C-alpha cells in the first residue's frame, strides 16, 4: 500500500485541469472544500460524486490513480465511521444491546463523515497534487497571498516550505517502502501479532525514517545555501503565471457547479423537513 501511494505525486499528463492556472485551481479547491462540509443530504452527496467523476475525467488521471490515492486513507475513514456509529445515540434507535447503541442518525452521520474524508482526499488530488506541480503550487500561493507582504509576512518562504513538503511526500513514501523491505529481509514481521506488537514493530521503521528525513533536510539546506538562496527578495521567475480567458471561464463554471450542489442540498433539506 505504501509503495502504491499517489498522494503528493504529480501526474505528468495533458488535460484541461493541467493547463488551468494554479491560482484558479487553489480558489476552486477552497470552494469545493466548503461545499463538501456544507452538504448533508444523501442525494446531494450522490450529485457530488457525479461532479467528482466529471472532474476526474477533466483531469485525465484515471480512476485507478484516484483509487491509489484514496486507498491508504480507507482505514482512517473506516475508523471515523465506527466512532460516529457507536457514539451518536440521538434519533430512532435501531439496535441497543449492552453498551452498543446504533441509531438511524448515527448511521447517517457515520456515512456522511466517512464520505467527506474520501471526497476531501479526491478533491485535493484532482485540483492540487495530481494536476499541479509543487513549483506551480508555490507560485500560486505566493501570488494569492502577496498582499500579506505589506505587513512583512514571509509569503515566499511559507509557500516554499509548503511546496517542499508536498514534493517530499512521495520521496518519504518510497523511503518507507525501502526501509520496510530491508527490515523484512532481516526477519522483521509487520503483519502478525496483536495491535501493540505491530506498533512496536513499526519503531524499527520510524527511527531510520526520521534519520533519513533529517539527512535529506540537511542536504537540501546545503544545496540551497550553495546556490545563494536568500529568500524571495529581488528574485524573478522563469515562467511567471499568466491567467487566460479560458482559466476564468473554467473557474466560474466549476464554482457555479459547487454552488449548485450546496443550493440543491439546502432545497432537499427543506423539502424533507
State phi, psi for 100 to the nearest 5 degrees.
-95, 120
Same domain, yes or no, for 86 and 210?
no
Range of the domain at 88: 1-132+243-273
Assigned domain for 138 exists: no
Same domain, yes or no, for 127 and 184?
no
Give 230-243 pLDDT, tens digit per residue.
776 667 777 788 88
Same domain, yes or no, for 168 and 50?
no
Q: What span, in angstroms and rounded, lies between the C-alpha atoms of 35 and 38? A: 5
Give 61-110 pLDDT, tens digit per residue.
888 888 888 888 888 888 888 888 888 777 777 777 767 777 778 888 88
The neighbouring-strand residues paired with 67 are none
Assigned domain for 81 exists: yes
Give 147-200 pLDDT, tens digit per residue.
888 888 888 888 888 878 877 877 887 888 888 888 888 777 777 766 677 777
How is 18-56 classified by DSSP, letter by letter?
HHS-HHHHHHHHHHHHHHHHH---HHHHHHHHHHHHHHH
Distances (CA, A) of 199 to 1, 177, 181, 184, 196: 17, 16, 17, 15, 5
262-273 mean pLDDT = 74
Same domain, yes or no, for 218 and 97?
no
The pTM for the full model equals 0.79
Distances (CA, A) of 240 to 37, 136, 166: 34, 10, 21
Assigned domain for 113 exists: yes
**In 3D, which of 53, 52, 56, 50 has the Cα closest to residue 15?**
56
Do the Cβ atoms of 35 and 115 come closer than 8 Å? no
Same domain, yes or no, for 173 and 117?
no
What number of other Cβ atoms are within 10 A of residue 13's Cβ? Answer: 14
Assigned domain for 137 exists: no
How is 75-102 classified by DSSP, letter by letter?
HHHHHHHHHHHHH---S-EEEEETTEEE
**What cell numbers appear for 201 in the block?**
514493530
- Average pLDDT of the chain is 83
Amino acid at each position: 500500500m505504501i509503495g502504491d501511494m499517489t498522494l503528493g505525486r504529480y501526474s505528468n499528463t495533458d488535460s484541461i485541469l493541467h493547463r488551468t492556472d494554479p491560482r484558479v485551481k487553489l480558489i476552486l479547491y477552497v470552494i469545493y472544500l466548503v461545499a463538501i462540509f456544507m452538504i448533508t443530504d444523501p442525494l446531494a452527496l450522490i450529485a457530488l460524486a457525479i461532479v467528482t467523476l466529471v472532474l476526474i475525467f477533466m483531469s485525465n488521471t484515471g480512476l485507478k490513480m484516484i483509487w491509489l490515492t484514496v486507498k491508504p486513507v480507507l482505514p482512517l475513514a473506516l475508523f471515523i465511521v465506527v466512532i460516529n456509529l457507536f457514539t451518536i445515540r440521538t434519533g430512532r434507535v435501531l439496535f441497543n444491546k449492552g453498551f452498543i447503541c446504533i441509531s438511524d442518525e448515527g448511521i447517517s452521520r457515520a456515512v456522511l463523515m466517512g464520505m467527506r474524508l474520501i471526497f476531501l482526499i479526491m478533491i485535493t488530488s484532482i485540483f492540487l497534487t495530481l494536476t499541479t506541480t509543487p513549483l506551480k503550487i508555490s507560485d500560486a500561493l505566493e501570488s494569492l497571498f502577496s498582499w500579506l507582504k505589506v505587513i512583512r509576512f514571509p509569503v515566499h518562504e511559507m509557500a516554499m516550505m509548503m511546496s517542499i513538503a508536498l514534493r517530499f511526500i512521495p520521496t518519504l513514501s518510497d523511503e518507507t517502502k525501502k526501509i520496510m523491505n530491508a527490515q523484512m529481509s532481516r526477519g522483521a514481521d509487520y503483519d502478525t501479532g496483536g495491535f501493540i506488537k505491530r506498533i512496536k514493530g513499526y519503531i524499527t521503521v520510524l527511527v531510520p525514517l526520521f534519520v533519513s528525513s533529517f539527512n535529506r533536510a540537511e542536504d537540501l539546506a546545503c544545496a540551497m545555501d550553495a546556490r545563494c538562496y536568500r529568500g524571495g527578495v529581488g528574485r524573478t521567475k522563469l515562467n511567471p503565471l499568466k491567467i487566460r480567458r479560458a482559466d476564468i471561464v473554467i473557474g466560474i463554471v466549476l464554482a457555479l457547479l459547487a454552488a449548485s450542489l450546496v443550493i440543491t442540498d439546502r432545497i432537499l433539506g427543506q423539502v424533507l423537513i
